[in-house]
Structure 1
């Protein structure tokens, strides 16, 4: 066999070599360590790593080392403003709950190199591409960044955070502020680290919260039943497809959001991929409570921490089969509306207060419900804005190193193309992955979508 045929038959194995680890500390830390007590909503979100992953063409810098050194310099500066991100998260022996020690322990930077160019990367099958390669996790550091250089000179940056530090809104503020610092721009966000979301003096909540949420242990979280929801995939969805779905979902002059329309479409696909003996199935949505709790005064827009709830809609298999996209979008809208208010978040904070100490999660996340798919919107999460002075990204998405979940999961965000298209990161069961493979709207992410 000729050398050419050998290369065609056996492509080069994708390998990543870690070359250096370093710890970056804030430039002007507090002279004495101090503690930040987590809020009740922080306890609801749990302790697991969340990763945001960006890919870039070869930066216009002298070298990979110069690129990383510039990142470290601006990171040290932004940690002065986001000091919990340079701290440690430890268990308080008296309360048995985690807390943040602001001691300037630092953020971890990992430098790595690959043997392939970006265009040869499998952007669709993230199980093969990402974990333990361009994303690695060390539990001693709640903030860690892996910067990986490809043989073409392209770069990926993986930002991994402990969920106790915050939610997507908080992490988006941190990354956007870091970019502003790197470009020597004034900071548009003065972060609020007060974690002031506390229970009312006489905790009180609607009994319906007991149906959706449960107190649990870390062991229970780690021992979620193996239910084959472990396929991590990345999709591209055209802007024209999103507009078409929104038009289908919006009838009688009532306009549905893009997420409501997208959810309705996915819900119809989902029912064909689960055991038909099931009578019902669920879809869930993560909801950010900041705007619901600030009463129009924009007081919580810079709140750093977790302000998330999750709501679920349940429908029979029959009504999902027979219903139109518009009908199902109505069900989605009603489910989200239930938690889209301040009263829900105040009740949720009180529910957690009544179940402390311990970790709390939605029952569905522990795999204790009927088949469920959770949809999360990253519509406002920065993508094209994640520019450290070396250019805008080709791709921005989220990733989790958790091996499997109790529910399916999809996260959408605007693509880096800036044309209204979406990037959708998903964790799926095999039958749902197969259905999406044959779907005309979901396009497996590829180098061609990124114009590589």
Structure 2
């Protein structure tokens, strides 16, 4: 059971999508006009997330029927998630970004492709052409009106379809978006909500006065950037030419990494931590080599269970912070793998209630953002592909490819688990020369 790197398959450059209908969707009943407080975590994530969810043909649910059901469900959802039909607003008094819950609505698009779903290529492979399955929300129907959510249903010639979402990251993190999808699916089936969301984002407000009780090398102040720097953190897109590749690890590979991670101790390492350590080493050493250069890896951590008291699992907002590990390139090259895993594990353990509160308070005191060489973002166990819609579960869910070389995405395999194998897909984007080196290191360090 070796690892594989998916060779770039023949990519459909143009799925020939035609927009059939563009409209706004409004809450099914009147909602209260209010301002929604955004935490310091929310406001850093002021960019859009685009995801596509592919569905096979179901003769009981042709795309036209699904479009109607889906639109109705979205109208109901905008009552429960009133902020999703609102607009971002800078409060003139507090100078804080907030959401004006004003019922202006979400966008809805119906489209069609000239191809069958089977003809658009390997769904696992990141294809920039999938951008046609989502709708950019800027100036959606009216000029200068930017909805926080736009959904697009694109039908294929075979009866299959794709549902694409463009949402502002200020509205959801991955876990709360999964809950939103579960609720949307329940509403489409005329069932009660799967989960009652918790909208109290003051639970993640900074303390008064703020208390930054730890050094935070994983965060950088805007005024600390070099003069003339265009850097804006790991979330920023790059203009460089990038190659995209999908690397696969089987459950056997992950087990082997766990064995290597034991070193002289029998400490148990998690699958995520060994994968993260492996990717860190490959990414750091694929860049031009400087043994004394420090490399910081960031990895997203759900803080809901780590706070005191814990946040409700139903918290609808961003409750994810970046844990970190730091090492010089020389260490990453020569240290035992078990030591690298220890560093990643220590970073995860560091994320206590006090540490998380310190990070939030840092955002109250400083203008800045997460800063590191690479961010590992795991969609591995979010479960988007497990959402049970009336028309069935998705065949696959993926983000639209974005031009960021410093984010590595970890995904479940196509169709969920294959038999008993619960391996993973890893999407990497790097300049061509760095990609070649990354690929060589990826397999070398597995042996």
2:220 equivalent to 1:213: yes
Structure 1 residues 35 and 93, CA gap change in structure 2 (3 angstroms): same
Q: Give the 3 Å change call, closer, same or farther, for CA 163–408 of structure 1 in structure 2.
A: closer
Q: For residues 227 and 318 of structure 1, do their structure 2 counterparts lie closer, same or farther at Cα, with a shift above 3 Å needed?
A: farther
Q: Does 1:171 align with 2:177?
A: yes
**How far 1:236 sits from its partner (Å)?**
4.3
Structure 2 residue aligned with 1:287 = 301
Match of 2:325 in 1: 313
1:128 aligned partner: 128
Q: Give yes or no for the alignment of 1:182 onto 2:195.
A: no
Q: In the alignment, which of 249, 261, 270 is matched to residue 257 of structure 1?
A: 270
Structure 2 counterpart of 1:46: 45
**With structure 2 as the length reference, what TM-score do the two structures score?**
0.83
2:92 aligned with 1:84: no
CA contact (8 A) 2:135 2:165 kept: no
Greater Cα offset, 175-184 or 188-197? 175-184
Candidates 237, 248, 260, aligned match of 1:248: 260
Cα distance in structure 2, aligned partners of 1:439 and 1:276: 13
1:145 to partner: Cα distance: 1.2
Query: CA 1:89/1:213 → structure 2, altered by over 3 Å: closer, same or farther?
Result: same
103-112 or 239-248, which moves further after superposition? 239-248
Counterpart in 1 of 2:431? 429
TM-score by length of 1: 0.82
Q: Which of 352, 357, 362 is matched with 1:341 structurally?
A: 352
Cα deviations by residue, 1:379-427 (Å, 9 ceiling, x for unpaired) = 44123322321111221223464x435x233233465323423243444
Q: For 2:291 and 2:238, how far apart are their aligned partners in 1?
A: 19
User: What's the CA shift for 1:60?
Assistant: 3.0
Are 1:361 and 2:360 matched, yes or no?
no
- Distance in 1 of aligned mates of 2:239 and 2:79: 43
Q: Distance in 2 between matches of 1:96 and 1:299?
A: 27
Equivalent-residue separation in structure 2 for 1:11 and 1:194 (angstroms): 44
| Aligned CA distance change for structure 1 residues 299 and 284 (closer, same or farther; 3 Å) | closer
Write the distance in 2 (CA, Å) between the matches of 1:147 and 1:301. Answer: 29
Per-residue Cα deviation, 1:73-92 (whole angstroms, up to 9, x for no partner): 12222222111112111222
How far, CA to CA, are the matches of 1:10 and 1:289 in structure 2?
Answer: 38
Q: Please give the secondary structure, in 1, of the residue aligned with 2:318.
A: coil
Partner of 2:159: 153
Distance 1:250 1:135, change over 3 A: farther
Distance in 2 between residues matched to 1:220 and 1:270, nearest whole Å? 18
1:301-342 CA-to-partner distances (Å, cap 9, x unmatched) read 11111222213222222222223332221121112222x210
Q: Distance in 2 between matches of 1:430 and 1:180?
A: 44
TM superposition shift of 1:173: 1.3
Take 1:47 and 1:120, find their aligned partners in 2: how far apart are those partners? 35
SS in 2 for 1:66: helix
* Conservation of the 8 A alpha-carbon contact between 1:181 and 1:187: yes
Aligned partner (choices 363, 367, 378) of residue 352 of structure 1: 363
After TM superposition, the structure 1 stretch with the greater mean CA deviation from structure 2, 380-389 or 156-165, is 380-389
The correspondence for 2:340, drawn from 311, 328, 335, is: 328
1:267 Cα deviation from its structure 2 partner? 2.4
Instruction: Give the number of equivalent residue pairs.
Output: 415
**Structure 1, gaps ≥5 residues long:** 1-8, 365-371, 443-452
Q: Note closer, same or farther for the CA distance 1:304–1:237 as it changes in structure 2 (3 Å cut).
A: same
| 1:277 pairs with 2:277 | no
Tell me the alpha carbon deviations over residues 207-237 of structure 1, each in whole angstroms, 9 at most, x when there is no partner: 51266232479x9749958473854554544
Indicate the SS of the match to 1:130. Answer: helix
Structure 2: stretches of 5+ with no match in the other structure: 1-9, 139-145
Deviation per CA, 1:346-368: give whole Å up to 9, x if none. 1122222223xx5x31133xxxx
The 1:317/1:26 distance shift into structure 2, 3 A limit, reads same
Please say if residues 57 and 393 of structure 1, whose CA atoms lie closer than 8 Å, have aligned partners that are also in contact.
yes
